[in-house]
Amino acid sequence: MSEFWEKQRVVVTGGSGFLGSFVVERLKAGGVPIITIPQHEKCDLCKKEDVCRLLDSCMPTMVIHLAAQVGGIGANREHPGEYFYNNLMMGVQLLHESYLRGVEKFVALGTICAYPKYTPVPFREEDLWNGYPEETNAPYGLAKKMMLVQSQAYRQQYGYNSIFLLPVNLYGPRDNFKPESSHVIPALIKKCVEARDAHADFIEVWGDGSATREFLYVDDASEGVLLASERYNESEPVNLGSCHEISIKDLVTLIAELTGFHGDIHWDTTKPNGQPRRKLDTSRAEEAFGFKASTDFRAGLMKTIEWYEQNRR
Whole-angstrom Cα distance, residue 151 to residue 188? 36
> CB within 8 A of 76, min separation 6: which ones?
83, 136, 137, 139, 140
For residue 140, indicate whether it is catalytic. yes
Cα 166 to chain centroid distance, Å, stands at 8
In 101-183, where does DSSP find H-type helix? 138-158
How far from each other are the two terminal CA atoms of the chain, in whole angstroms? 35
Whole-angstrom Cα distance, residue 290 to residue 298? 24
CB atoms within 10 A of CB 53: 14
Element spanning 13, H or E: strand 9-13
Question: Among 83, 99, 115, 140, which one carries the catalytic annotation?
Answer: 140
Catalytic residue positions, numbered: 140
